[in-house]
Amino acid sequence: MPAATMEQVVNLCKRRGFVFPGSEIYGGLGASLDYGPLGVELKRNVKDAWWRAVVTRRDDVVGLDAAIIMHPRVWEASGHVSGFTDPLVDCKSCKQRFRADHVQGGVCPECGGELTEARQFNLMFKTYVGPVEDTAHVAHLRPETAQGTFVNFRNVLETSRLKLPFGIAQVGRSFRNEITPGNFLFRTREFEQMELEYFVRPGEDDKWFDHWRAERMRWYLDLGIARERLRERPHGADELAHYAKGCVDIEYQFPFGWAELEGIANRTDFDLRRHSEHSGKDLTYFDEERRERFLPYVIEPAAGADRSLLAFLVDAYSEEEVEGEARTVLRLHPQLAPCKAAVFPLLRKDGQPERAHAIYDDLRRHFSADYDQAGSIGRRYRRQDEVGTPFGITVDHDTMRDGTVTLRERDSMAQIRIPADRLIEELRGRISGPQG
C-alpha cells in the first residue's frame, strides 16, 4: 500500500472537518491551526489513550494540571531564560528568517541571497502579569509542562504518600516561538504535550529508562502504527540536552522524512536540584526503609499530542479501488476513531428511519455515533470510511421482521447479521482491542 502524502492528509483534514487553518477568514496566521468537530474528538481520544496507558492502568503514577504562567524564577532555575534558544539568520535580500541549523550552504533557501551571521533567539513567548508592562512584571508562557511537575514534586509527595519509583503525568498546552514552524501539525507555536516525569532511585535509572523505552514504543504499535514506520534513534553525546544522561527519540517516517514523535530522556536529578537551589526548598526524598535522603533521578517520556495525531492520520490513510470505484479509508484504531459507529436506514420509509434512530440513540449512551440517511447505502459507507468510522449498522427489511441488523467492518468491508439488542456488547468487544 503506497504511503500517504501530506497533501492527501491535509486535504482530507480540511474537507472533512479534522483541522482548519487558524483565523482563516482573516487570511490565516502562520502555524496556527484549529481542530474541527472530528479533529477534536480524535485528539481527545489520543490523549485519553495515553492517559489510560500511563496513569489509569498503573498504580505508581498520578496526574497533575499545572498553570501555564508560572513564577519567572522557575524558568531561570530550569535554564530556559539563558539557554532555550535556536540560532537565527536573516536573508539580506528577501528578509525571511530561518534557523541556522536548517540552512545548508550559507545562502537563503528561498532566493539564494546572502544570510546574516547567526544569533541566538529565545523561543519563549513573553507576556506581562498585571496592568504594568515593565521588567518587574515579565512572565512567560510555559515552553513545556515538565517544570510544573518539578515545582509540585513536594506537594504531590506529601499529599499522595507515594514511594519510589513513582510518576507524575500531565497533558497540557505549551508554547514555543518557533523560527520556522511547518509541516502542518508537526511543528506549531502552540501545541499539547503528554509528559511523564518518573522519579527513581539513583542507580536504578538505567533499568527504568529501558522500561519506558519499551512501554512507549508498545503504545504506538498497539494503536496501529506500522512497525516499519517506527524506529528508535539514540542521541549522540554532542546533541544531548544539558540536563540529560541519555535520550532516545521514537521517530516516525512521515511523508517529509523521519522525525521525532516522542523523546525518552534520563534527566538525572538536574531539575529537582536546580529548583531546590533556586527556591531554597528541600526537594529530597526520604527512604524510610533505608533511612536515606537523596534527590531522585527522573526518566521523562515526553510525547506531542498533535504529532501523535498526525502520525496516526498519516499511517491510517489509504486509497484503493473497490469494484471499479475509488475508496478512501482512514484505518484508525477503533479506540482513536472520532466516531465509533454509524447507523443507516436502508430506506427512508416503512418505519426504518424510526427504528434506526432508536438504535442510534441507544448507541450514543455508550459510544460516539453518527446517523446518516442521505444517499445510497454505498455512498454512506464511503463517507464513514473516509473519516475512520470502524463500524456501520444498517437497518433494513429483515430488521423490521426479526430484529437483526447488518454490522459492517470498515477495513475488510465484511458484514454479519446480529440481533440489535447485542450491538452494545459486540461493539464494546471490538473497540477494546489490545488497549481495552
Query: For 235-253, what is each residue's pLDDT tens digit?
Result: 998 888 888 899 999 999 9
- The answer to whether 344 and 394 are in contact (CB under 8 A) is yes
Residue 433's pLDDT is what? Answer: 62
- Domain membership flag for residue 88: no
CATH number at residue 379: 3.40.50.800
> How far apart are alpha carbons 38 and 15 in whole angstroms?
11
- Domain membership flag for residue 105: no
Peptide bond into 165 cis (omega under 30): yes
Phi, psi of 331 (to 5 degrees): -85, 55
The C-alpha angle with vertex 166 and arms to 243 and 212, in degrees rounded to 5, equals: 65
The C-alpha angle with vertex 318 and arms to 224 and 9, in degrees rounded to 5, equals: 95
- The answer to whether 277 and 77 are in contact (CB under 8 A) is yes
Number of folded domains that form the chain: 2
Residue 122's pLDDT is what? Answer: 81
Upper half-sphere CA count for residue 123 (Cβ side, 13 Å): 22
> How far apart are alpha carbons 194 and 308 in whole angstroms?
10
> How far apart are alpha carbons 125 and 408 in whole angstroms?
49
**If you write DSSP's letter for every residue of 417-429 in order, what string do you get?**
EEEGGGHHHHHHH
Structural domain of residue 356, as residue ranges?
339-435
> Mind listing the pLDDT tens digit for each residue in 353-387?
999 999 999 999 999 999 999 999 999 999 999 99
- The answer to whether 370 and 322 are in contact (CB under 8 A) is no
Q: The pTM is what?
A: 0.92
- Domain membership flag for residue 4: no
> Mind listing the pLDDT tens digit for each residue in 204-228?
999 999 999 999 999 999 999 999 9
- Domain membership flag for residue 394: yes
> Mind listing the pLDDT tens digit for each residue in 252-286?
999 999 999 999 999 999 999 999 999 999 999 99
CATH number at residue 275: 3.30.930.10
- pLDDT for 148 beyond 90: yes
For residues 364 and 285, state if they share a domain.
no
C-alpha cell at 200: 527513581
Which of these, 24, 48, 10, lies nearest to 368 by C-alpha position?
48
The per-residue pLDDT of the chain, averaged, comes to 93
For residues 378 and 429, state if they share a domain.
yes
- pLDDT for 18 beyond 50: yes
